[in-house]
Amino acid sequence: MRIVVPAGGIGGARFLRGLKATIKGGAGNNDDESTITVIGNTGDDITLFGLRICPDLDTVMYTLGDGINEAQGWGRSDETFVVKEELAAYGMQPTWFGLGDRDVATHIVRSQMMAAGYPLSAVTGALCDRWKPGVQLLPMTDDRVETHVLVEDGEGRRAIHFQEWWIRHRAALPASEIVLVGAEEAEPAPGVLEEIARADIVLLPPSNPVVSIGSILSVPGIRQALNDSVVVGVSPMIGGTAVRGMADACLAAINVESTAQAVAEHYGPDLLDGWLVDDVDADAHVKGTEIRSCPLYMSDPEATAAIAREALDLALELKRRQT
């Protein structure tokens, strides 16, 4: 069985860990040859201090490679922050980005390879040679696209990088628009469309629908390819609020309510064949999308594996119905 998972950062990485556990346990099917291809969001990538940083790719890689800071959900375990302190001592800006020493090494390797001419997809493959995440991790694109957020405050109306809005301002500055700069001209990275085309099923983890999944869908060609596939999504909203993170602020910026139903409608039935919601949202109804409910809190690896199994089972059922 071939599974494709477009994924953002923390939520996507944890869902993937549950999915891996479920597949290993033989759930959904008994095919040991199952493969998972992850299409990672690169819209929140940023260059700081001359280092190319890919937060979502790294979160997936560290989480599946057992290198993640478990409590935090991002960054390396046993992390130190000496380089960050020293950069601040030199007066370097910005100081709000959590740049750990172990993490810096990843960015140095990536930056050096990219300076030598390797595309991000090749660099990601090389980094994964160390981490062995057990999935094929592809960036959505090798082209540079960057999520910018249109905000307005005492300093006036301006566009800032998503990371500045997300981390520095904790998404508290009201955003009037979210723009993925460069997306229109971007091409899917090598393998992305091919893997979607030959996938048996596609699962959307409970990643941010706007700046994670939304960014991936913005790369020309990807959404069309997904429309032709069996896609089951897991709602990132439970009972009218984001399960974790600040996805509500992103949805507000694009005038979408923070409900499981509204997110499913935003994705649309062309994309979404099935939609897994929490039991509290069992009354959600979207024409053309099969809705199923179960407890959706990814409170621990076992609960997360159970959610992944539900999504997998629904997708396989829809796939069987199709054929």
CA–CA distance, 3 with 24 (Å, rounded to integer)? 13
Query: Is residue 109 within the footprint of a second copy (CB under 8 A)?
Result: yes
CA angle 176, 43, 110 (to 5 degrees): 145
Among 47, 95, 104, which residue's Cα sits nearest to residue 75?
A: 104
Q: Which amino acid is at 55?
A: P
Choices 87-95, 117-125, 223-231, 287-295 (CB under 8 A): range interacting with a second copy: 87-95
Query: Which position among 77, 111, 136, 227 is part of the footprint of a second copy (CB under 8 A)?
Result: 111
Query: Which position among 26, 72, 80, 185 is part of the footprint of a second copy (CB under 8 A)?
Result: 80
Query: Is residue 229 within the footprint of a second copy (CB under 8 A)?
Result: no
Query: Which position among 39, 87, 189, 237 is part of the footprint of a second copy (CB under 8 A)?
Result: 87
Query: Is residue 95 within the footprint of a second copy (CB under 8 A)?
Result: no
Query: Is residue 197 within the footprint of a second copy (CB under 8 A)?
Result: no
Residue 272, judged by CB atoms within 10 A of its CB (0-12, 13-18, 19+), counts as: buried
237 Rama class: left (phi>0) / alpha (psi -120 to 50) / beta: beta
Query: Which position among 36, 51, 68, 271 is part of the footprint of a second copy (CB under 8 A)?
Result: 51
**Distance in Å, CB of 85 to a second copy, minimum:** 8
CA–CA distance, 112 with 92 (Å, rounded to integer)? 21
Query: Is residue 77 within the footprint of a second copy (CB under 8 A)?
Result: no
Query: Is residue 82 within the footprint of a second copy (CB under 8 A)?
Result: yes
CA–CA distance, 8 with 65 (Å, rounded to integer)? 16
Query: Is residue 143 within the footprint of a second copy (CB under 8 A)?
Result: no
- Residue placing its CB nearer to a second copy in the complex, 68 or 193: 68
Choices 124-132, 239-247, 251-259, 264-272 (CB under 8 A): range interacting with a second copy: 124-132
Choices 75-83, 133-141, 159-167, 168-176 (CB under 8 A): range interacting with a second copy: 75-83
- Residue placing its CB nearer to a second copy in the complex, 33 or 78: 78
Q: Which amino acid is at 120?
A: L
Choices 122-130, 199-207, 297-305, 306-314 (CB under 8 A): range interacting with a second copy: 122-130
Among 200, 201, 212, 202, which residue's Cα sits nearest to residue 236?
A: 212
> How far separated are the first and last CA of the chain, in Å rounded?
15
- Residue placing its CB nearer to a second copy in the complex, 35 or 111: 111
Query: Which position among 91, 117, 154, 156 is part of the footprint of a second copy (CB under 8 A)?
Result: 91
Annotate each residue in 267-296 with x if it binds a second copy (CB under 8 A) or - if it does not, as one string. ------------------------------
Query: Is residue 132 within the footprint of a second copy (CB under 8 A)?
Result: no
Query: Which position among 25, 26, 66, 92 is part of the footprint of a second copy (CB under 8 A)?
Result: 92
Query: Is residue 90 within the footprint of a second copy (CB under 8 A)?
Result: yes
Query: Is residue 117 within the footprint of a second copy (CB under 8 A)?
Result: no
Please confirm whether the linkage preceding 133 is cis (ω < 30° from 0).
Answer: no
**Could you list the residues that contact a second copy (CB under 8 A)?**
49-51, 80, 82-83, 85-87, 89-92, 101-102, 104-106, 108-109, 111-112, 115, 127, 129-130
